[in-house]
Amino acid sequence: MHRLKKIFATDSYIVPIVAIIMGFLVGAVVMLIGGYDPIAAYSALFKRVFGSPYDFGEAVREMTPLMFTGLAVAFAFRSGMFNIGADGQVLIGMTAASVVGIKLAGTPSFLLVPLAVIAAGLCGGIWAGIAGYLKAKRGINEVITTIMLNWIALYLSNYIVKHFLLLKGQNRSVDNPASLSMTFLNSLFDNARVHWGTALALCAALFFYVFLWKTKQGYEMRAVGLNPHAAEYAGMNVGRNVVKAMFISGAFAGLAGAGEVLGVFHYQSIFAASPGYGFDGIAVALLGLTHPLGVVLAAILYGMLTYGSAGMSFGADVPPELIRIVIGSIIFFIAAQGIVRWVLKPFYFKRKKEKVL
């Protein structure tokens, strides 16, 4: 029994690692079929990420919103909901940060920056909370409401930017005076756009862990996520937990928006279509097995691969889209663990045999 437990414990990291290796192998096979050199491509990828301080800084920048949206999707998942709406929540967070930052310009920055960040988190949370409320009160599937809310968020934030924040004759808002940039690190990284949002994302991951596993409220949320009927029978208010969980999930996504506006671009542009942060977030959450530590690691991997894929196309002429095949395969193997276990079976068998001997 003890040994069995141990195998399951090691599984929690062996399966993802093997899945990652298998994902890279699938990518290599696809490259070989296309007539490319996988070794050159992968080394170009890593060279791109670690080649210069600037690129490394930019790769970190790429990881930050992924951490937030990954945490957002994972948090909702743990509470039994599928938040497809992280995209809209990011947009609402961006807009809130822009409005506060630009409209309250002149406020000392030690006040302005926190205000803009809080507004982003709050508004993102409320946006997701709408879907939570409709699920709790009316039983409306959150998948459909969050999809609808994504579109509404797109047009609403375009409207706000266009009518209240736009620079004359341009497609972007006035420069935002509230800034999350780390000036001392920016110069260290050759002006890569690293910002405090990354630290905030790590704090959010810590909050995720502590809240869900160390507090009574978190326990309730997990219980609702695992079995709402049992949770209700045990006297928990399922509806309230659903709304609260969606609020926290949306707040994470909203903070991603704050990071992008205040840390990276310092302005907001009018989007023609949904920017896609939320869908990356789904992938990151799944790669990270919806655990906060896993999500952080997954965001690092995902950010590295997407940022490095540009290097792959310059260095080895491989279309950068290939990296989505790699990421998709990794998620596939993590999801269908049966395949990984089947591959690993001979190794487990060998190990057991050694112990018996």
Partner 1 sequence: MDLQTLGQLLNTTLVFSTALIFAALGGIFSERSGVVNIGLEGLMMFGAFAAAVGGYYAQDAGMGAWAPWVGVVCAMAVGVIGSLIHAVASITFKADQTISGTVINFLAAGSTLYMVKLFFEGAGETPLLEGFKKVPVPGLSKIPVIGEGIFNSYPTTYLAIVLVIVIYFVLFKTPFGLRLRAVGEHPSAADTLGVNVNKMRYIGVMLSGLLAGIGGATITLTTTGTFAHNTISGQGFIAIAAMIFGKWNPMGAFGAAVFFGFSQAIRNYVQLFEWSKSIPQEFIFMIPYVLTIIVLVSAVGRSAAPKALGEPYDPGKR
Cβ atoms of 224 and 80 within 8 Å: the answer is: yes
From CA 173, how far away is CA 194, in angstroms rounded? 21
61 within 8 A of 195, measured Cβ to Cβ = yes
- Give the one residue of 279, 343, 344, 348 binding partner 1; rule: CB under 8 A: 279
Minimum CB–partner distance for residue 44 and partner 1 (Å): 16
Residue 314 interacts with partner 1 (CB under 8 A): yes or no = no
Identified binder of partner 1 from the candidate list 43, 52, 181, 337, rule CB under 8 A? 337
Selected binder of partner 1 within 11, 21, 328, 348 (CB under 8 A): 328
Side-chain-side CA neighbours of 51 within 13 Å: the count stands at 14
Q: Least CB distance from residue 133 to partner 1, whole Å? A: 10
Instruction: Provide the token pair at 190.
Output: 């050759």
Q: Give residues with Cβ within 8 angstroms of 129, minimum separation 6.
A: 243, 246, 247, 250
Contacts to partner 1 from residues 82-101, by CB under 8 A: 82, 84
In the bound state with partner 1, the residue whose beta carbon lies nearer, of 137 and 351, is 137
- 269/337 with CB nearer partner 1: 337
> Is there binding between residue 255 and partner 1 (CB under 8 A)?
no
Residue 220: how many other CB atoms lie within 10 Å: 21
Residues 98-157 interacting with partner 1 (rule: CB under 8 A)? 134, 138-141, 143-145, 147-152, 155-156
When binding is defined by CB under 8 A, the residue of 6, 162, 351, 352 that contacts partner 1 is: 162
* Residue type at position 65: P
Cβ proximity of 254 and 89 under 8 Å: yes
> From CA 357, how far away is CA 141, in angstroms rounded?
55
For the bound state, the minimum distance from the C-beta of residue 329 to partner 1, rounded and expressed in Å, comes to 7
Task: Kindly state whether residue 286 participates in binding partner 1, applying the rule CB under 8 A.
Answer: yes
321 binds partner 1 (CB under 8 A): yes
Phi-psi region at 311: left, alpha or beta (left = phi > 0; alpha = psi -120 to 50): alpha
* Nearer of residues 120 and 149 to partner 1, judged by Cβ: 149
Identify whether the C-beta of residue 299 lies closer than 8 Å to the C-beta of residue 88. Answer: no
Distance separating alpha carbons of residues 178 and 114, to the nearest angstrom: 9
Of 108, 235, 338, 346, the one binding partner 1 (CB under 8 A) is: 338
Q: Residue numbers of the site for partner 1 (CB under 8 A)?
A: 30, 34, 82, 84, 134, 138-141, 143-145, 147-152, 155-156, 158-159, 162-163, 273-274, 279, 282-283, 286, 319, 321-329, 331-332, 334-339
